[in-house]
């Protein structure tokens, strides 16, 4: 949700100032989603599987001090399924954009 709000706010500001059109803003948004996937995608196949997602959530707890509950298996699975919009077992940049969360 944070990313979607930030993107919407920055896009609205850019449009108001006349420095961007929606068509110009979209590639930047996709690049952010692709960078986010790349940080988590350890096997470099441009998508995140359940194992990579679990490792990411564990890292967020251990290195970033996030709530330990986010790495619990049930929560990992639930959050993965939420992001995996098409249910194919992978999270892609398109699904990150659709979800609107980082």
CB-CB neighbours of 30 under 10 Å: 14
Q: How many CB atoms lie within 10 A of CB 94?
A: 15
Identify the CATH number of the domain in which residue 20 sits: 1.10.238.10
pTM of the model: 0.70
* pLDDT tens series, the chain, 102 aa: 555 544 555 555 555 555 544 444 478 889 999 999 999 999 999 999 999 999 999 999 999 999 999 999 999 999 999 999 999 999 999 998 876 665
Please give the tally of structural domains in the chain: 1
Token pair recorded at residue 26 = 């979209």
Range of the domain at 61: 2-99
């Amino acid at each position: 949700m944070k990313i979607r709000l930030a993107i919407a706010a920055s896009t609205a500001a850019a449009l108001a100032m006349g420095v961007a059109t929606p068509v110009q803003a979209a590639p930047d948004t996709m690049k952010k989603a692709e960078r986010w996937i790349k940080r988590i995608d350890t096997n470099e196949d441009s998508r995140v599987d359940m194992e990579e997602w679990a490792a990411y959530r564990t890292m967020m707890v251990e290195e970033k001090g996030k709530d330990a509950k986010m790495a619990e298996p049930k929560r990992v699975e639930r959050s993965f399924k939420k992001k995996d919009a098409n249910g194919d077992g992978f999270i892609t940049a398109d699904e990150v954009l659709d979800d609107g969360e980082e």
